[in-house]
Structure 1
Amino acid sequence: MPLEDIILTSYNKGHFLPSFNHAAQVWNHDFFWQSMKPGGGGRPSGQLLQLIERDFGSLERMLMELKAAASTQFGSGWAWLVYKANKLDVGNAVNPLPSEKDNKLVVAKTPNAVNPLVWDYSPLLAIDVWEHAYYLDYEHRRVDYVSTFLEKLVSWEAVSSRLEMAMQRAAKRAREEEKKRMEEDDMIIGDKKAMEVYLNSDEDSETE
């Protein structure tokens, strides 16, 4: 079973099964390490930058929100940049509430091992804010650690690649959902026509 499926199954709508924390932390750390490169940082480009500016107003505003999420996560956890292709709100970090906004970039933070996969979001960037990730070098200065990560380590190329895949998945899902709706509409229309034929035939038999 793929690791992502284990995470989703063991999340159990917020009532974690024993395997959840282990599976999620393996996934989170692998994703986090792949979010970095030597000589990273700088500015993103292309479609990623366009969406950042569309959804946050500017790159600086997005970075400010990401730093705030990372620095204010109480205790151990993670900060994320995600592509949100459904209508769940990140306001509730365990079981998000419905919202009217989708197909956009958002910043989120999660406690302990929880990651945005459980909300059906597409993670693009992760920052580990468990204490062991930074304490030896930064002690309690989490903000300095997060700033260094974003200024010198983050791989915007990796984030851009993940965004492209996330948008492709969202577009494919939208097409599949539209096809399903059309098939359901056709079935309803077919049922109505069948009922009309039945009623008409019943009326004809009565007149005879």
Structure 2
Amino acid sequence: MFAIARSAVRSRASAARFSLTATAASIHTLPKLDYAYDALEPHISGEIMQLHHTKHHQTYVNGLNAAEEAYAKTETPKERIKLQAALKFNGGGHINHSLFWKNLAPTNAGGGALEAGPLKEAIDRDFGSFDKLKEKMNATTAAIQGSGWGWLGYNNATKKLEIVTTANQDPLLTGLTGMPRRTAHAPIIGIDIWEHAFYLQYKNVKPDYLKAIWNVVNFKEAEKRLVEATQ
């Protein structure tokens, strides 16, 4: 189990087209955004983005570094087992948020624009239309009890796009140690449904947040992930 958590944190992030930023000493750092905090307005406020990035994501980075440092100093299997939860939670938080920032783009930089290509073809094939995908994914994600993530993932077994949810900060990654690639989903689009992602702007009305976020989804990045997953 521990091998799975460590692999998810360190070696399989490439499946999502990003890598954890770390030095040779495995010190993870907060990734920079490709846009200003207020660039996603009015769909996601600058205040939310700044707090989400500099406070919440930074907390996962700090927690991951602390857990890895503690692991390096432990001498018994029992002590290392105790660290698995912290590695999974903070490592997943770092992985998911690093993907999430790339998942978004301002409307003036192509955000929200699904153009003709492999991704649109796959969406039309597997869901009937883009509107049907949004309707189904929004409903599935809104139904998450508590905190978690809604995903559009590529299933290597069925060769189709599928909607998947994960609890808390559990990542959606392909090729984890002990998990055959053919049974895993490659993350194409992820939606953070933790309250810190929307509450300041949308209060408790999750459907409004889920409807708005599609206006700033970076479909070019999502298509790159799909092409990589199908190779």
TM-score, normalization by structure 1: 0.65
TM-superposition CA deviations, 1:17-57 (whole Å, max 9, x none): 43100101100001011000010113342111111111111
Residue 162 in structure 1 maps to residue 218 in structure 2: no
After TM superposition, give the deviation of residue 69 of structure 1 in Å.
Answer: 1.6
Match in the other structure for 2:200:
136
Q: Determine if contact 2:112/2:218 at 8 Å carries over to the other structure.
A: yes
* TM superposition shift of 1:142: 1.0
Q: 1:21 to 1:106 in 2, by over 3 A?
A: same
Name the amino acid aligned to 1:67.
Answer: N
Provide closer, same or farther for how the CA distance between residues 58 and 163 of structure 1 changes in structure 2, counting only shifts above 3 A: same
| Equivalent in the alignment of 2:41 | none
- Deviation string 1:105-135 (CA, Å, 9 cap, x unpaired) is 0011111011222662100000000011100
Partner residue, 2:133: 62
2:7 to 5, 8, 13: 5
Can you give the 5+ residue segments of structure 2 that lack an aligned partner in the other structure? 12-83, 177-182
- Detail structure 1 runs of 4+ shifted over 6 Å in the superposition: none
Which one has the bigger helix percentage? 1
Structure 1 residue 8, shift from structure 2 partner: 8.8
Amino acid aligned to 1:66: M
Flag the 1:18–1:146 CA change in 2: closer, same or farther, 3 A.
same
* Structure 2 residue aligned with 1:113: 169
For 2:156, the equivalent position in structure 1 comes to: 85
Q: Which residue of 2 aligns with 1:24?
A: 92
Greater gyration radius: 1
Partner Cα distance (2:6, 2:213) in 1? 26
Equivalent of 1:124 in 168, 183, 188 = 188
Q: Give, in whole Å, the separation in 1 of the partners of 2:149 and 2:185.
A: 15
Unaligned 5+ segments in structure 1 are 10-15, 87-101, 169-208
Q: Secondary structure at the match of 1:113?
A: coil
The residue identity in structure 1 corresponding to 2:187 is P
- AA in 2 matched with 1:156: F
Distance 2:91 2:99 in 1: 12
2:116 and 2:137 mapped to 1: Cα distance?
18
Q: Distance in 1 between matches of 2:184 and 2:98?
A: 19
The structure-2 alpha-carbon separation of the partners of 1:6 and 1:57, relative to structure 1 and needing over 3 Å to count, comes to closer
* Root-mean-square deviation (Å): 2.2
Shift of the 44–82 alpha-carbon distance from structure 1 to 2, 3 Å rule, reads: farther
**Alignment partner of 1:81: what SS?**
strand
Deviations 1:151-202 (A, max 9, x none): x21011011011010001xxxxxxxxxxxxxxxxxxxxxxxxxxxxxxxxxx
